[in-house]
Amino acid sequence: MDRPKMTAGLLVALGGNALQRAGGTGSWEEARAQMRATVAVLAEVASEGGPLVLTHGNGPQIGTLLRQNELAAREVPSRPMDVLGAETQGQVGYLIQTELTPALRQRKVSRSVLTIVSRMEVARSDPAFRRPEKPVGRYYTDDEARRFRKQLGWSMEYDGARGGWRRVVPSPRPVRWLEGDAVRHLLDARLASSWVPVVAGGGGIPVVRRPDGGYEGVEAVIDKDLAASLVARELDLDTLAIVTDVPGAAVAFRRPGERWLRDVSLTELERLAAAGEFSAGSMAPKVEAGIGFLRRGGRRFVIADIPSLARALRGEAGTRVTAD
């Protein structure tokens, strides 16, 4: 079956302070208040028309569920990482639906917000499964780390700066979004302006193909920015906007000579990335995702924070990169 061709559209990948305030309590009331500020901007973007798709991170939410699993383990069987990923997609999607729907109505935008629990296929042969490197959950003492390594087979890594151990899991690259075709049909030329799909939360649920052709979840975390890039490509959207907690990308970030990037060519962004200008733990994955998106047919890549997102999409703020 031929896949319907999308018209120009936008994917906004939420992260950072779009979902949870740094240093906050992590309460549901706080999450709702933070989301209200986020959806006011998203409603403004949605009022411009055209396909709009949302993705989001889930780091704090996964951490909370992992801790709840630990505390309840004597009474309730723990759930694996893929199941926790599905739970956080529902949790954050529900939050977005609850707050974005009235914000759209206030702007007289007639769109339904729809959360789609999304699976991402990864390869069993991905080298990440041999070298777990993605930290998840809380910090552990020496005794706890030894116990979990022995009892549960966890890979643990010591963080000298924090003086504690953290569990590390594989972070394989996404190769296919299993719900992609369904969302493409949902956003065809007749329906694109009727929906705001929320998809691939937390990078999507990592699954591998079984010999019988089915799929099964694996203990892993997919980078949310790489997943957002893949989703935007599979939907033929022309703009990928990654929302973070800083107003753009910078050279020499928080060092002498700091310079914020505004309008940048793809070639220049690739040169800066190759020179190591973006830190591995924060901006580098976003830049890699944007480069991959543009090299595979995307037209525009934007990095911004929530307050400046709408202006960044108009070319007035943020970091803006266009295909060569």
Establish if 182 belongs to a structural domain: yes
Establish if 161 belongs to a structural domain: no
Establish if 21 belongs to a structural domain: yes
Establish if 279 belongs to a structural domain: yes
Partners of 169 in the β-ladder: 134
Angle at 14 between CA 128 and CA 283, to 5 degrees: 55
Comparing C-alpha atoms, which of 217, 2, 279, 250 is closest to residue 89? 217
CA dist 104 and 109 (Å) reads 5
Tell me the Ramachandran region of residue 163: left when phi exceeds 0, alpha when psi lies from -120 to 50, beta otherwise: left
Position of tokens 């890594």?
157
Q: What is the pLDDT of residue 189?
A: 61
CA dist 174 and 169 (Å) reads 15
Write the pLDDT tens digit of every residue in 203-247: 999 999 999 999 999 999 999 999 999 999 999 999 999 999 899
- 3-class secondary-structure state, position 306: helix
CA dist 298 and 295 (Å) reads 7
Give me 9's structure tokens.
Answer: 């559209």
Catalytic (active-site) positions: 16-17, 134, 224, 286
Residue 184 pLDDT greater than 80, yes or no: yes
Q: What is the pLDDT of residue 1?
A: 43
Q: What is the pLDDT of residue 218?
A: 97
- 3-class secondary-structure state, position 304: strand
What's the CATH code of the domain at 277? 3.40.1160.10
12 neighbors 241 (Cβ within 8 angstroms): yes
Provide mean pLDDT across the span 291-319: 96
Comparing C-alpha atoms, which of 282, 286, 280, 318 is closest to residue 302? 318
CA dist 87 and 117 (Å) reads 9
Tell me the Ramachandran region of residue 161: left when phi exceeds 0, alpha when psi lies from -120 to 50, beta otherwise: alpha
Count: domains in the chain: 1
Establish if 154 belongs to a structural domain: no
Domain that holds residue 86: 10-118+177-322
Higher-pLDDT residue of 324, 62: 62
Write the pLDDT tens digit of every residue in 134-153: 999 999 999 999 999 998 89
CA dist 241 and 51 (Å) reads 13
Establish if 84 belongs to a structural domain: yes
Write the pLDDT tens digit of every residue in 1-26: 444 444 479 999 998 666 777 777 88
Poorest-pLDDT segment among 14-23, 54-63, 99-108, 160-169: 14-23
